[in-house]
Chains A and B, each alone.
Chain A
Amino acid sequence: GAVVSQHPSWVICKSGTSVKIECRSLDFQATTMFWYRQFPKQSLMLMATSNEGSKATYEQGVEKDKFLINHASLTLSTLTVTSAHPEDSSFYICDPGQETQYFGPGTRLLVL
């Protein structure tokens, strides 16, 4: 099946710093990447959709200037959390949205 990797798997950072999360599709080309966020003890919510070669689309309530998404190639999409705050602490998961719906393993972000 489709393999998706995420890096890093864990990150702890200070408030005010920026964190970049990479999502790679290892054995297929992903023209689209969905980015989900899961707060502790909650379900997953879609944050944004990245499209290779074009601007990402953001869900209502998600700040596009804070969560920068880049999808520069068919195998790599990145999410950068800028000026991170403790309330951004969450589990971030990417999904190429293929019919088989394989997710990346997730990145757990803790902002101190």
Chain B
Amino acid sequence: AQSVTQLDSQVPVFEEAPVELRCNYSSSVSVYLFWYVQYPNQGLQLLLKYLSGSTLVKGINGFEAEFNKSQTSFHLRKPSVHISDTAEYFCAVSRTQGGSEKLVFGKGTKLTVNP
């Protein structure tokens, strides 16, 4: 079974500051890794995903994440945040088996960007 731990439930930062949202996972099999963003009262939007290849993954809105297999981590980073980045961020994993696979989510990190 897979599990995901998002180490910070809330992260407050000032506008234009860098941010890192931490995610660690546990799995006995190979996994795909995902980050999603959820704005208030909205659905999930895929930020980025790691399936294979380069361990540094670039996503939308200036976000990037690095897959570290030895540390079983997939931390999300942005060098300079905007007020509009205020949202809930979810890290998720799925098995890499072919076909459709369910996602296992972390509990989420609420990012608040202050002026």
Contact = CB atoms under 8 A, between A and B. Distances in A.
Given A34-B100, A43-B105, A96-B100, 12 more contacts: A43-B108, A44-B44, A45-B105, A46-B104, A97-B94, A97-B103, A101-B49, A101-B103, A103-B43, A103-B44, A106-B44, A108-B41
B90 A44 contact: yes
A32 B100 contact: yes
Contacts of A97: 94, 99-103
Contact of B103 (A30, A31, A34, A42): A34
Interface of B: 32, 34, 36, 41-44, 46, 49, 51, 90, 92, 94, 99-108
Contacts of A34: 100, 102-103
Interface string A17-48: 00000000000001110101000001111100
The 10 closest A-B pairs by CB, nearest first: A97-B100, A32-B100, A106-B43, A105-B43, A43-B107, A103-B44, A43-B105, A44-B105, A34-B102, A43-B108
B9 to A, nearest CB: 10
B90 A101 contact: no
A45 B94 CA distance: 13
A95 B103 contact: yes
Interface in A60-104: 93, 95-104
B90 A104 contact: no
Contacts of B32: 99
Nearest to B91: A43
B102 A99 contact: no
B46 A102 contact: yes
A49 to B, nearest CB: 7
